[in-house]
Amino acid sequence: MRKRTAVTLHKSADLLLEKVEKIGIMIEQAGQAPVPGRIVAYLMLSEPPYRDFYEIQAFLKASKSSISTALNQLMQVGVVNYITFSGNRRRYFQINTQGLTKVIKERYRKGQLINNMIMETLQHRKNSEFQRFNRELKEVIDFSTYIHKGMDKLIADWEKLHPLS
């Protein structure tokens, strides 16, 4: 009986760790370093969805400095938050879903940068002999501009419908 419980607990903690790794890698691929990625993954999956500094550190087996730096960075970006409970000095970190939504929006908006870049090149090439290439570049810009404008509208429409997010 005791053994079985222990095994079960072990198995589920292990499973959680595996999931944290997996989701963590996805977050890495979105441009975060491993430790911040794992922190976000852990906070997303954890029950309860808030954890204090030492719980996070113990779960991820990372150093205090890494955890501290990562948490502060994530709070800076806006995807992590904390809550407190009175009579308790620790801060409980959690995912800030509003911040997450904002980050997703920003990511989409970044497409505009490529657009600007190609426009600059086309400006530079305006007297080029190679108008065929210029026309092709123009097409890329047209597509990219179309997408970008469409997306801004999508976001604006959403915001109209969902005022506070």
Residues that bind a second copy (CB under 8 A): 19, 23, 26-27, 29-30, 41, 44-45, 47-49, 94-95, 97, 100-101, 104, 107-108, 111, 113-114, 116-118, 120-121, 124-125, 128-130, 133, 136-137, 139-140, 143-144, 146-147, 150-151, 154-155, 158, 162, 165
Q: How far is the CB of 69 from a second copy (least distance, A)?
A: 22
Q: How far is the CB of 17 from a second copy (least distance, A)?
A: 13
CB contact at 8 A, 105 and 60? no
**φ, ψ dihedrals at 99, nearest 5°:** -65, -40
CB contact at 8 A, 136 and 148? no
**DSSP of 105-154:** HHHHHTHHHHHHHHHHHHHHTTT-S-HHHHHHHHHHHHHHHHHHHHHHHH
Report the alpha-carbon distance of residue 67 to residue 65 in Å, rounded: 5
Q: Among DNA, a second copy, none, what does residue 126 contact (CB within 5–8 Å per kind)? A: none
Q: Is 138 in the site for DNA (CB under 7 A)?
A: no
Residue 106 token pair: 């920003």
| DSSP conformational letter for 49 | S
Q: How many residues bind DNA (CB under 7 A)?
A: 23
Q: Among DNA, a second copy, none, what does residue 74 contact (CB within 5–8 Å per kind)? A: none
Q: How far is the CB of 65 from a second copy (least distance, A)?
A: 27
Residues of the shown chain interacting with DNA in the complex, contacts defined by CB under 7 A: 33-36, 52-54, 61-66, 68-72, 87-91
